[in-house]
Amino acid sequence: MAQTLKTLTRSVDTLKSIRGIVHTMKTLSAINAFPYEQAARSIGAYLDTVLDGFQAFLHHNGPLVLTSQEKAAQVVITFGSDHGLCGNYNEILADEVSRQLQRRAPTDSVVRVLCVGAQMEDALTDLGVQVESTLLPPATADGLGRLAGDLVTRLDGIRRDSPFGDVVVTLVFTERSAHGQQIPVARRLLPLEAELIEDLAHRAWKSRSLPVFNLPPDNLLAGLIRGYLFASMFRAAAEALVTENAARLARMQQAEQSIDERLEILNSETRSARQSEITTELLDVIIGYEAIKDRD
């Protein structure tokens, strides 16, 4: 019985240590998500400014002429997790990428897949998706600009290598939904949506001062598109990291609850074992006393 009590006490101490680690991880997840959430809000304001530039450009130069997408280079960019402890985060995203490839890509077209995170690459490889290039996810919110700039540069290179100079870009990442849930989304980035262009072209200019441009229209449009790409991928990366930390927080909360339930059971068993040990020792004392009493 003493050995059993010792084993139970050791198990309780081990679970308490694990619970401390889980609680620390839960706190870190909540803290880490905050700067990425701030970054997502900040880049949202920048994206609104870029869209204002598009609106001014359309009012000054007329509607854009949308080209055919049949012979354009197709690119899918997915933002995964490389830190673990967030459940099947990468597997869910990999399933969404696979669905997008089966839905969009014709049999004679090669889709170039760029992914963020080595574990995301493994999840895609398991589904038979060939990854062209893998980038490291940012360790802090300051690295979001580096990642977005690198992706814009790679897309520019793909566009130049395309025989027709056109590219179709789709972002696949997770975003927050109702009740604290996370869902995978696939968002078309290029070419610009016809609905967006039409809305900007017919939207009333919100200032009495009309915009004036010094750059040639082609250079101005290229700069606006580059800013739109940068802001969109920056926001997608930030949103993905927010949801990743939220998923990790949810898993840590579940683990903490399971540990608390197990601790409650072990504490009850420890109390019972301790009570049994005390009862046994008292019985030994009583039996010994009775034996000495009978002998006397």
What pLDDT shows up at residue 1? Answer: 41
Average pLDDT value over all residues in the chain: 81
Closest CA relative to residue 75, chosen from 186, 184, 205: 186
Residue 234 domain flag: yes
What pLDDT does 67 receive? 61
Range 84-108 burial, b when 16+ CB lie within 10 A, else e: ebbeebbbbbbebbbebbeebeeee
Average pLDDT in the 83-99 region?
81
215/296: higher pLDDT: 215
Contact criterion met (CB below 8 Å) for 237 and 116: yes
Residue among 268, 239, 253 at smallest CA distance from 175: 239
- CB within 8 Å of 194: residues ≥ 6 apart: 66
Overall domain count for the chain:
1
pLDDT at 2: 45
CA gap 276, 4 in Å, rounded = 11
Interval 15-66: pLDDT, tens: 888 888 888 888 887 787 788 888 888 888 888 888 888 888 877 777 776 6
Cα–Cα distance measured from residue 49 to residue 41, given in angstroms and rounded to the nearest whole number: 13
Assigned domain for 287 exists: no
pLDDT at 3 over 60: no
Of residues 290 and 145, more confidence is placed in: 145
pLDDT of residue 41: 84
Question: Is 60 exceeded by the pLDDT of residue 106?
Answer: no
Inform me whether the pLDDT recorded for 88 exceeds 50: yes
Can you tell me the distance from the alpha carbon of 295 to that of 282, in angstroms, rounded to the nearest whole number? 20
Higher pLDDT, 237 or 165: 237
276 in a structural domain: no
Per-residue pLDDT, 109: 64
| Among 66, 29, 51, 80, CA closest to 246 | 29
Q: How far is CA 116 from CA 42, 153, 242, 283, in A?
A: 22, 15, 15, 67
CATH code (residue 171)? 3.40.1380.10
In sequence order, which residues have a C-beta less than 8 Å from that of residue 217 and are 6 or more positions away?
A: 57, 61
Q: Domain range spanning residue 166?
A: 27-250
